[in-house]
A and B are shown apart, each in its own frame.
Chain A
Amino acid sequence: MEKTEHKKGFTIPIGPQHPALKEPGHFRITVDGEIVTDVDVRLGYAHRGIEKAAEARSWVQNLYLFERVCGICSHIHAMAYCLGVERLAGVEAPPRAQAIRVLVAELERIHSHLLWLGVAAHEAGFDTLFMYSWRDRETIMDVLERFSGNRVNYSANILGGVKYDLDDEFVQFMCEGLDYLETRSEYYLEVVTTDAMFLQRTQNIGVMTRSQAELLGTVGPTARASNVHRDIRYEAPYSAYKQFPISIVLDQRGDLEARFVVRIKELFESYRLIRRILEELPEGDLAARMPRKIAEGETVSRVEAPRGELFYFIKSNGSDTPERVRVRTPTICNMMSVVKLAIGHQLADVPMILAGIDPCFSCNDRMFRVHLDQSVYANVGPLKG
């Protein structure tokens, strides 16, 4: 969003090349001395026209297209799409397939949160933590590679179920990996809550109260760190989350430290859930048969990606290609909070605040129109940390 009016103070353009993370986004930060007085954000550098491309591909082909919306959360995109298409077709994936989908989604959450922990620590100048967490993340990458043959785009889903089954050897390999990661996560939790230098960069920085978080429409761990009860797995359980419920991880404080704590505590919840699924893994088929043409209709499919709510709207006209697919990724919901939170902070804190929402620029770049209702943002008021 660009504003044209003249602003007081000095404007520093940051980006579009890699403002904080290795992705494109442009920030125009107005400062008064070292203090940020205004932030403008401009997105769209990685717009790929995926929604339009989807209209020219069949239902099956689109599965692989949507898997590539995001490299980090490839599985959850495919899962959201599959759940939506299956609902339209009136097909339900067998219970074993649902459990395996959720299991992979949780493995993906672990890898995503560990990746984020490293990136955020790097932004804070704490490169030791970055190296440690990325080294440990390799454990989970190996698990995912052993499961599907691929480290990133696992392609575990097919319409109607999953491709791969769990075998004993893999389960043992995964459990060993999870045991190791659990001890490491305890250590990380201790580091982010006790390391004095790190706390200086996180404690009371970017504080967002519950009402502000609700007004700004934040989702995922960013919202949960401000004590907003927003987790699709908990609010509207889908797939195997009905059978294997999760408990929501919340924090009252709303600052950057809380966002670290919430994400690391979510790791423990994921370890617990994966073990529980393994204990009670349903027997049966891996996939149900899907028709090639999907019945006319429209549906909304919401799932909890590692970064927050992922939203798919799918419309079918009865043919073998979708009429419209709309994707909304969590980063776009959280981006406004960065714009508001940065005001009043030191310029040096801006990369940390940005990294705090765990942004993924290329997956949120999608064409849409916003009808600006200034009164909503006027109510949020200035945020100070």
Chain B
Amino acid sequence: MKFGTLLQDLARSAVHNPITEKYPFEVRATPARLRGRLNWDAENCIGCGLCVKDCPSQAIELIVIDKKTKQFQLFYHLNRCTFCAQCVYSCRQECLSLSRDEWELAALNQEDFHIQYEREVDEVPCVAATDPAEA
């Protein structure tokens, strides 16, 4: 090794801050394509089940309450997900996405990993609408 290179490196390292970051006090910006937690947009879902079929780790369950009124529940098992994004590519309605910002996903309880998605806005009128049909 050349002596000059060594000195250069020494000089540079003497004034340089450590390369490591003080996480969690300092959080580096995530890359734009980071694959974090799965989000489901219930509006467009048609209940085709392709995402469930293609998921390599059985992390998604879809429960069809009523296909006509588009009432579905999606259970997402965060602890099984490998963040491969296959479900995002399989969904033709573009209702699935992997979040860029939600990636600190550790939890102390099992329950925190089982996430239930439902249609939020329409929930009350929809339930009301389906009740007479069921009766």
Does B84 lie within 8 Å of A155, measured CB to CB?
Answer: yes
Q: Does B55 contact A (CB under 8 A)?
A: yes
Q: Which of A60, A62, A65, A149 contacts B33 (CB 8 A)?
A: A149
Q: Does A164 contact B (CB under 8 A)?
A: yes
Least CB distance, A91 to chain B, in whole angstroms:
16
With A153-B84, A195-B1: A61-B54 Cβ-Cβ less than 8 Å: yes
A163 to B35, CA, bound (A): 13
With A61-B56, A164-B33: A150-B83 Cβ-Cβ less than 8 Å: yes
Q: Does B46 contact A (CB under 8 A)?
A: no
With A146-B31, A146-B33, A158-B89: A64-B1 Cβ-Cβ less than 8 Å: no
State the majority secondary structure of interface residues on A: helix
Q: Does A200 contact B (CB under 8 A)?
A: no
A57 to B54, CA, bound (A): 9
A231 to B124, CA, bound (A): 64
Query: Contact residue range for chain B?
Result: 20 to 34
A158 to B89, CA, bound (A): 9
Q: Does A252 contact B (CB under 8 A)?
A: no
Q: Does B34 contact A (CB under 8 A)?
A: yes
With A145-B31, A149-B31: A64-B53 Cβ-Cβ less than 8 Å: no
Residues of B with Cβ closer than 8 Å to A?
A: 1, 5, 19, 31-35, 53-57, 82-86, 89-90, 98
Residues of A with Cβ closer than 8 Å to B?
A: 57-58, 60-65, 67, 128, 135, 145-150, 153, 155, 158, 163-164, 187, 191, 195
Q: What are 20 A-B pairs with beta-carbon distances under 8 A?
A: A57-B56, A58-B53, A60-B86, A60-B90, A61-B56, A64-B56, A64-B84, A64-B86, A65-B56, A128-B1, A146-B33, A147-B33, A149-B31, A149-B33, A149-B35, A150-B35, A153-B84, A155-B86, A158-B86, A163-B85
